[in-house]
Chain A
Amino acid sequence: MLNRRGFLKIGGATAFAALFGGCERLPKTLVPFVIPPENYALGESLWYASVCRQCPAGCGIVVRNSEGRAKKIEGNPLHPVNRGKLCARGQAGLQALYHPERLGTPLKLDGPRGSGKFREIPWEEALRLLMTGLSGVRAEAPTALLMLTDPMRGHRNLVSARFMKAFGSPHRVAWDPFGQDAHLSANEAVYGVRDLPEHDLAGTRYLLSFSGDFLETGVSPVHFGHAYGRMRAARPTVRGKFVHFGPRLSMTAANADAFLPVAPGTEGYAALGIAHVMVREKLTPAAAAAGGLWNAGLKEFTPQAAEEKTGVSAADIEAVAREFGANQPGLAMAGDAAAACTNGVFNLSAVGLLNLLAGNVGKPGGISFPDRLAAFASFGAEAKLLLPAAESGYPAVRDAVERMGKGKFRMALLSGATNPAFTLPPSLKFEEALLKVPTIVSFASFLDETTSLSDLVLPTPTYLEEWGDDLPPAGHGGEAITLGQPVVTPFRDTRSMPDVLIAAAKELGGPAAAALPWGSFRECLEKAYAGRGIDLEEAHKNGGIFSGKAGATRPAPKAGSPALPKAAEAAFAGDPARYPLVLHVYPSSALSDGRGANLPWLQELPDPIATAVWRNWVEVGPKTAAALALSDGDGVTVSSPFGSLQAFVFVHPAIAEGVAAMPLGQGHSRYGKYAADRGGNPYALLPASVESATKAPARHATRVSLVKTRMKGALVRTVHPEGQWLYENIL
């Protein structure tokens, strides 16, 4: 019987050669199949379910496949996270597949290290080089091997973890610039659970958001977008209200009923002001019962005190608190901008306190903590390796950089989209330290800033061409295992990282071979799920294993009287006299943390607020712009104590004054022709500051200055920021 891969091969080899031969006349010969594949009809589409890896949300996708080519990606309707929806980044996955700059042959450094000059070599030679390196390190000092990746999940992570353990090195570092460290610590402090929660947006009546752009970026934008739509329009008599506190009007904020601009890093004070009113006026039963908070210090946090800190009027805070109390179940959420300040845990704990006062923990329309580990009890101690790691891994990265600088590592294995050479603060000197490692091997589909520092690059398939499994971090009760499968025959001569590790372990022999006993990564997955009473073929058709029932919940979160979080001020580097504005950086809704910058579809996707394409910009409010004598479209040099770059000014009509905001994602120096030279990299302005409690990176921790500069060209925008019906335009 012909299997699916065989079919794809034949489809690719025969029908396609004829149909896509070029833009000439119709081909003169008609080449039929020797053996037609099953379920095949010329010109008819087949849809394959798989998993999206354009961001860490882990949405389920279905890919339309016609004549052996992937032609369209959509959301998988059966998948609990995204329920048939998909964002622009997911849709753009096709361009990663067909990208002209994709690596298709192993590359060996052919010039000075870091020059990005490579020559193509055959796989045999590449694997020999890899094995020579690995064997040498293992024989002399196994702990001198470093593996630096993005946070992996599912069996991909399990294979890597087992490989490193059997190899004898503890240095496996996963870096995620948007890790959830502060959320985890705050959840532990407030709810007694160190985990990411489920927010029942769809069932809530009143949503308070604190600097979380959950509709465009964040943990699971498509999931929240869909749930948000249901909150607003799916109930016959209730239209949930949404109030957003944040330093700038993001797309999420633009969807809110009320947007209240707050000074960066003061979200916690706004939340405490609301909590003060709730307890004072006993607005909910839970708030009435939380009298202990009052004397613990909550009475100090009056709305007037909050006004002084945040800039939001006391009257607004009182009004929001009363509405929040009257419309239950209500829900409070906080996002990246509140978490990535030096006082992130305080901000998030204060927001968590609002959920306790609303009494919505573990209830519909509120916040809950499903026990995601319960679904994997059968994996024993290794179950944790399959689940999403929410931490940024920053302390481990700093440690690794220090060790690299001291020459403690002899070999580094790099992989992943989080691109540390681009996303880490330059003052950490990551690149310099990495180049001190004698041998650097990357697993990559593209040459980005990090992978181009390698000695050897092993090309990997894109996620549309490989096997895999995934456990999404949000949007399900803990019982959604997504399965990925190749939807097309790999276009290039690539091998997936787990496959290479399995082969390398076999070659190394001994404990490594015993720890990775499979012939391939596909076999590893099949064996893992075979024993669980699952029809794997059916599961692949559906795109995963979705039980449909609510997952096991954890024991009731921390009972008793809630504690008042210890107030902390956000610290900002730089002298306010020299650097008058606070820098607010946010992940671009199209380019994410920067990984999407090489896809033209995403480059030409107008930003939902600035409507700009192909470049980045700096946003300032009208008053700030007037004070600095800047007008919309001017070129400026943005300088922080750590770096500077040039950008165009976008006078944002709705941003907290005294704030300069920049989207992250542009400013690549490598990463192909579509990504390179599109403005400066805002990560380069950031300090190496950390959140005080968790030691996670604090992005919102520096001040900047703007100085008018002559710049070539202009920022291309589709409409004027104040609307295309600007008064002058009409006249």
Chain B
Amino acid sequence: MTRNAIASILALAALALAVLAPTRSTAAPPEQPIRYTHKVHVTDYKLDCRFCHVYATKSASAGIPSVAKCMMCHRTIATDRPEIKKLAQYWKEKKPIPWVRVTELQEYTYFPHFRMVTYGKVPCLTCHPGIDRDDIAVQRQEFGMGWCLTCHRGRGVSIDCWTCHI
């Protein structure tokens, strides 16, 4: 086999890996209806993630805070900022805010937040690294199977297929 042929095969293999690997870009944050910043809420004011994502401890989905929840504080806090005015407008019209999904998982997996958060005691930032410093949330962690398995093995949690693929 010539060196060229080997190089071609290697190049093809690399290409195949690139194609098959999860292709999420971490560069461009999606356009959100309101420029919500995790940094101000989590890092600066030290709010617990679960203060807003209330279902994380008891449901499969962590949940998005209701408009009423945002307004609990923003009735009086920073009411003159343009982004808060947008929020107030949603509240006034009693319309939900159409947030754009940031974190995605493959559809064939089942990820129950409450198992990790309540029983596994896994900190939120383990799976959502850096989100506490984002001005606009970005998904930085790819949820590849190897990454999940590493964590499951390290913690001695079941790696039975049907634990996650149901």
Contact = CB atoms under 8 A, between A and B. Distances in A.
Interface of A: 14, 25-36, 41-44
B29 to A, nearest CB: 14
B96 interface: yes
A36 B68 contact: yes
A27 B55 contact: no
B95 A34 contact: yes
B59 A32 contact: no
Interface residues of B, number: 25
B96 A31 contact: yes
Contacts of A35: 66-68, 94
A43 B68 contact: no
9 contacts: A26-B107, A31-B64, A33-B96, A34-B90, A34-B94, A34-B96, A35-B67, A35-B94, A43-B61
B20 to A, nearest CB: 19
A33 B101 contact: no
A32 B100 contact: no
A34 B64 CA distance: 11
Contacts of A25: 107
A32 B66 CA distance: 5
Contacts of B68: 33-36
Contact of B67 (A26, A32, A43): A32
Contact of B100 (A14, A26, A29, A44): A29
Contacts of A42: 55, 59-61, 63
B66 A30 contact: no
| A interface SS class | loop
A232 to B, nearest CB: 38
Interface in B62-82: 63-69
Contacts of A36: 66, 68-69
A32 B33 CA distance: 13
B59 A30 contact: no
A27 B101 contact: yes
Q: Shortest 3 CB-CB distances between A and B: which pairs?
A: A43-B59, A32-B64, A33-B66
B127 interface: no
Contacts of A41: 54-55, 58-59
Contacts of B66: 32-36
Given A32-B63, A43-B60, A44-B59, 14 more contacts: A26-B107, A28-B100, A29-B99, A31-B98, A32-B64, A32-B65, A32-B66, A34-B68, A34-B96, A35-B68, A41-B55, A41-B58, A42-B59, A42-B63
A575 B1 CA distance: 97
A547 B91 CA distance: 47
A34 B98 CA distance: 11
Contacts of A34: 66-68, 90-91, 94-96
Contacts of A43: 55, 59-61
A41 B58 CA distance: 8
A32 B99 contact: yes
A41 B94 CA distance: 20
A14 B96 contact: yes
A36 B54 CA distance: 11
Contacts of B98: 29-31
B44 interface: no
A650 to B, nearest CB: 41
Nearest to B113: A43
A648 to B, nearest CB: 41
A42 B112 CA distance: 12
Contacts of A14: 96
A30 B64 CA distance: 7
B109 to A, nearest CB: 11
A725 B62 CA distance: 53
A44 B58 contact: yes
A25 B67 CA distance: 25
Contacts of A31: 64, 96-99
A418 B99 CA distance: 50
A43 B59 CA distance: 6
Contacts of A44: 58-59
A36 B55 CA distance: 12
B104 interface: yes
Nearest to B57: A41
B165 to A, nearest CB: 16
A140 to B, nearest CB: 51
A36 B107 CA distance: 27
B101 A28 contact: yes
Contacts of B91: 34
Nearest to A13: B96
Nearest to B63: A42
Nearest to A36: B66
Contacts of B58: 41, 44
A162 B57 CA distance: 53
Contacts of B55: 41-43
A33 B100 CA distance: 15
A44 B57 CA distance: 12
A190 to B, nearest CB: 59
Contacts of B60: 42-43
A31 to B, nearest CB: 5
A29 B94 CA distance: 18
Nearest to B93: A34
A30 B98 CA distance: 6
A26 B104 contact: yes
A32 B90 CA distance: 12
Contacts of A28: 100-101
Contacts of A29: 98-101
A34 B60 CA distance: 21
A41 B96 CA distance: 17
Interface string B41-55: 000000000000011
Contacts of B54: 41
B64 to A, nearest CB: 4
A30 B67 contact: no
A266 to B, nearest CB: 58
Given A42-B61, A43-B55, A30 B99 contact: yes
Contacts of A33: 66-68, 96
Which of A25, A26, A41 has the most chain B CB within a 10 Å cutoff?
Answer: A41
A25 B99 CA distance: 17
Contacts of A30: 64, 98-101
A549 to B, nearest CB: 39
Given A34-B66, A34-B91, A42-B61, A26 B96 contact: no
A44 to B, nearest CB: 6
A42 B94 CA distance: 20
B117 to A, nearest CB: 13
Interface in B2-20: none
Interface in B113-130: none
A26 B107 CA distance: 7
A298 to B, nearest CB: 68
B57 to A, nearest CB: 9
Which of B59, B66, B99 has the most chain A CB within a 10 Å cutoff?
Answer: B66
Nearest to B65: A32
A32 B97 CA distance: 7
B5 to A, nearest CB: 40
Contacts of B95: 34
A20 to B, nearest CB: 14
A29 B100 CA distance: 4
A29 B58 CA distance: 22
Contacts of A26: 101, 104, 107
Nearest to A28: B101
A30 B100 CA distance: 6
Contacts of B97: 31-32
